[in-house]
Amino acid sequence: MMGGYGDIKLLNDDGTRLDGRAVDEMRSVEIKAGVLPVADGSAWVKHGLNVAVAAVYGPMEAHPRKIQRQDRAVIDVRYNMAPFSTSDRIRPGFNRRSREISKVTAEALESVVLVERYPRSKIRVEIEILAAEAGTRCVGITAASVALADAGIPMRDMIVGVASGKIEGVVVLDLDKAEDNYGQADLPMGILPNTGEMAFLQMDGDLSIEEYNLACEYNYKAASEIHELMKQALLDSASRGDA
Amino acid sequence: MVQLVPQLLRQQLAELAANDERTDGRSRWQGRDVELEVDILYNAEGSAKVVMGDTIVYVGVKFDTATPYSDRPTSGSLMTGAELRPVAHRKYEPGPPSPASIELGRVVDRGIRESGCMDMESLCIVPGESVWRVMIDLHVLSDGGNIFDACATAAIAALRTATVPAKRFDVGEDFKLELKSTPVMCSFTRVGGRYVYDANEAEELGGDERVHITLGDEGHLHSLQKGLKGVLMPEEFAEILAQAGVRCAELRELIHSKEA
Amino acid sequence: MNSNDGGAELRLVVPGDQIDAPPGTQPGSGVCKRGDSLVATKLGELKIGGDVAHVVPTFTKYLPRSGDLVIGYVEAVMNNLWFLDVGGPFNALLPMSLAPWKVEFGAAREHMGYGDAVLARVMEVDETHSVVATMKGVGLRKIKEGVIFEMPPHLMGLVIGSKGRTLQRLKAASDCRIINTQNGRILIDGNSKGIAIARKALQMIEETGHAPGLHSRLNSILGDDE
């Protein structure tokens, strides 16, 4: 996936990117909370052309028994890409990629949700990607955090999903589809905006330590911008009264 | 997860039926307001979203090329998939497609296929070698009752506004998928002993069998399905068929109003 | 919503928000400590009163506590006990010995079966959240008639109203017996016209309860106050 360096031009002569963004500029983001009437909590996030919807059910009795933990709740995350979310249709069903993303997302969320409040129970988090344009795992984490807050699940902080990467040797914030396909590195992170901790961290490609530091700086900047939108979405939904 | 059916709910629905009332104040043949949006998803060649009360569904249409069947060398193909994913309700569990989701996909598929609204011959690229395959995926995000009608409405609306991505496959210029008619589905559920149109979540939970009717432009029947435990009389079917004619015409008008 | 809490400070917070409170303020419900400062853990209204800060959540699921009056549905029947769905994270156990009848071993099913509704009280919740319910007590019984409305538990305060006035009006205007429980299930029993009125009012509270003008919307459904 990485390593197409040189074949495809991703930066304009004036240093801007193909879609006109500056290197440290993210795509436009829109967030709504409380969008699914049947779920206990839900959120809708549009990030660039990505569209993700997250639903939360629970806490509920954990079945089957063997998944129960006597001292805390388990968070059961399913990240799923709709068949029509990518340019080539995806065959429905779990695959290795979605299983891995579901696992690390669940573990990230378990580090902020006060799971010890609900021993033996289960909190179901369903992340559905309806349209994918690079960076869906991050959009999914953002959506899941807002949906958990909307469901009244206690958390010590939310998690913001953000990513930076490298194209043509230049570190840029928030890779779009072409940049993801032909770039040299991708650094997705889940950041706790209030404490600055990282609950989710992946990376692939090739980054020097200096490049990593810059990408990291971009991610933290983007996280605080997205955090404001997450808060606003929740406050809007709370004051509407039907959260 | 099997959903618990409260005995009191069944009792209540029977009492309401006796007074010709419904839980949400609707009359027997009255549907919920239908919100329809088309062409809303990047990456889908056709897409639609339908909201009916607490029910929300998305439908996406994708294309690819395939080798035609040897007995029909110039005919394209159609496939409809449905997944009742756990996002849509606490009652849905993860795993391979359940019989319920397969039924949903197949009933929606039949209505579209059998109405003949798609000219399969127009989907031929090279006779005997390559034809277009049209793939409809039904994606229920919130099941607040009557997902069949929501999916069927979104599916035909998505098809009618879909673009065949010929350029991406290097076989010419993109073109609008051509549809000759607009098959529309109407579903009825037995609630408290009598049939109602467009059952909501509580009515489905405490109700019995359901009947799905797909009608074409001329009012002809294109697909029928009776689902769930229960039986009905021919007179009852005649009654809901007459209602279906009215409802389908309204939905068809809504679908056409979204076409540019 | 205006503050009637005599000087208590109100604002909406989201999980992770730092709370500005005088030093020494203790974390109440929906609040936790992070180092020396207080942090909201839920979406809702922040209230600081006395030396405690807490968040009144916008949405919350029912969490059983001992003493709660609840409506449960029989989810499973064993020889000597019933499992009740009380809408919480775990179902409750109703042993035969706490039923209002003298039940022979193996005959539990003859008294209550799958899908039946009961008015019960939560007797005990242990640390691992095992819930035991009882039907021994005044008014506790199997529910044979009426309609059960599911209200999100955090809106029950609005149903009851200040000094119980909203609930009184609901009962008067609908001429129904109305029993509100801690798990958000409301039993309405009366004639069908009255039930329809009560349900309409409850539906309105569920959908738009937090928006301003609740009183006048209630008037339009229940008739004018007084």
Give the residue-averaged pLDDT of A41-53: 97
pLDDT digits (tens, 9 = 90+) for A93-111: 778 999 999 999 999 999 9
Say how many residues make up chain C. 226
Q: Which amino acid is at A67?
A: I
Q: A182 CA to chain B: closest CA distance, Å?
A: 18
Q: What is the dihedral of CA B79, B48, B31, C151, to 10 degrees?
A: 110
**Residue B18 belongs to domain spanning:** 7-257
Cα dihedral sign, C205-C208-C213-C217: negative
Q: B53: distance to nearest CA of chain A, Å?
A: 9
The pair of structure tokens assigned to B119 is 């000219």
Going by C-alpha positions, the residue among C67, C66, C99 that lies closest to residue C80 is C99
What are the angstrom distances between the C-alpha of B250 and each of B153, B182, C62, C138?
11, 12, 42, 54
pLDDT (average), residues B6-29: 92
Q: How far is A46 from chain B (nearest CA, A)?
A: 11
In chain B, which residues have their Cβ closer than 8 Å to the Cβ of A80?
Answer: 85, 87
**pLDDT over threshold 50, residue B23:** yes
Is there a contact between A243 and C207 if contact means CB atoms under 8 Å apart? no
Q: What is the pLDDT of residues C34-57, one digit of tens each?
A: 998 999 999 999 999 889 999 989
- Whether residue B187 is contained in a domain is answered as yes
Residues 113-172 of C with CB under 8 A from A: 127-129, 154
* Closest by Cα among A199, A66, A84 to A137: A199
The helix (H) or strand (E) run that includes residue B196 is strand B194-197
Measure Cα distances from C79 to B2, C91, C134 in Å: 21, 17, 17
Give the ranges where A57-135 is alpha helix by DSSP (H): 96-110
Residue B120 has, within 13 A of its CA and on its CB side, a CA count of 16
Looking at the complex, report in whole angstroms how far the Cα of residue C107 sits from the nearest Cα belonging to chain B.
20
Residue B191 belongs to some domain of the structure: yes
Question: Would you state the torsion angle of the CA atoms of residues C65, C68, C72, C76, taken in this order, to the nearest 10 degrees?
Answer: 50
Closest chain A residue by Cα to residue C35: A195
Query: What's the token pair of residue C34?
Result: 């992070």
Q: How far apart are CA B213 and CA B217, in angstroms?
A: 13
Q: Is the pLDDT of residue C16 over 90?
A: yes
CA B139, CA B159: separation in Å to the nearest integer?
Answer: 15
Domain spans in chain C, listed from the N-terminal domain onward? 9-57, 69-143, 147-222
Q: Which residue of A has its CA nearest to B86?
A: A126
CATH class of C69-143: mainly beta
Is the bond into C64 cis (omega within 30 degrees of 0)? no
Which of A66-70, B20-24, B135-139, C141-145 has the least mean pLDDT? A66-70
CB distance from C16 to chain A under 8 Å? yes
Residue B63 belongs to some domain of the structure: yes
Chain B CB contacts of C84 under 8 Å are none
| Beta-carbon count within 10 A of C64 CB | 24
The alpha carbon of residue A225 is apart from the nearest alpha carbon of chain C, in Å, by: 15
Nearest to B170 by CA among B207, B137, B126: B126
Asked if C200 contacts C218 with a C-beta cutoff of 8 angstroms, the reply is: no
Question: Which residues share a beta bridge with A173?
Answer: A164
- Interface B-C: count of C-beta contacts within 8 A: 30
Phi-psi region of B193 (alpha: psi -120 to 50; beta: other; left: phi over 0): left
Are the C-beta atoms of A155 and A59 separated by less than 8 Å? no
pLDDT of amino acid A92: 85
Assess if residue B2 is contained within a domain: no
| Cβ contacts from A onto B, under 8 A | 98
Is the per-residue pLDDT at C4 higher than 60?
A: no
List, in sequence order, every residue forming a beta bridge with B63; answer none if it has no partner: B134
Per the CB < 8 Å rule, is C32 touching A156? yes
pLDDT at C3 over 50: no
Provide DSSP, C78-120: -SSEEEEE-SSSS-EEEEGGGSSS---TT-HHHH--TT-EEEE
Q: Which residues of B touch A134 (CB under 8 A)?
A: none
- ipTM of this model? 0.93
Q: In CATH terms, is domain C9-57 a member of 3.90.230.10?
A: no
Rg of chain A's alpha carbons, rounded to an integer? 18
Q: Do C73 and B4 touch (CB under 8 A)?
A: yes
Of A36, A63, A130, the CB nearest to B41: A130
CATH number (domain holding residue B212): 3.30.230.70
Kindly report the number of other CB atoms within 10 A of residue C207's CB atom: 12
Which residue numbers of B have CB closer than 8 Å to C's CBs?
Answer: 4-9, 11-12, 15-16, 19, 21, 23, 25
Counting every residue written for chain A, the total comes to 243
The rounded distance, in Å, linking the Cα atoms of B24 and B37 is 25
- pTM greater than 0.80: yes
% of chain A residues with pLDDT over 70? 95
All chains having 3 or more CB pairs closer than 8 angstroms to chain A: B, C
Match 């669940």 to its residue by tokens. Answer: A106
The pLDDT tens digits of the residues spanning C138-167 come to 999 999 999 999 998 888 888 999 899 999
Half-sphere exposure of C1 (CA within 13 A, CB side): 26
Interface test with C, best of A42, A56, A60 (most C CBs within 10 A): A60
Average pLDDT score, chain A: 93
Q: In chain A, count H helices and then E strands.
A: 4, 10
CA dist list (Å): A51 to A26, A81, A132, A137, B21: 15, 10, 7, 11, 40
Selected for mutation to probe chain A from C31, C43, C75 (highest A CB count within 10 Å) is C43
Within-domain flag for B96 = yes
How far C5 CA lies from chain B's nearest CA (Å)?
36
Domains, chain A: 29-240 (3.30.230.70)
Note whether A183 and A175 are within 8 A (CB).
yes
- Number of domains present in the structure of chain B: 1
Dihedrals phi, psi of B94, to nearest 5 degrees:
-70, 160
CA distance B126 to B132: 10
Which amino acid is present at B153? Answer: T
The CATH T-level fold of domain C147-222 is: Ribosomal Protein S8; Chain: A, domain 1 (3.30.1370)
Q: Which residue blocks in A21-135 are alpha helix, DSSP H? A: 96-110
Residues B211 and B237: beta-carbon distance below 8 Å: yes
Of all residues in chain B, the percent with pLDDT exceeding 70 is 99
Q: Do domains C9-57 and C69-143 have the same CATH topology?
A: yes
Cβ distance of A235 and C34 shorter than 8 Å:
no
From residue A146, how far is each of A53, A188, B108 by CA, in Å?
10, 18, 34
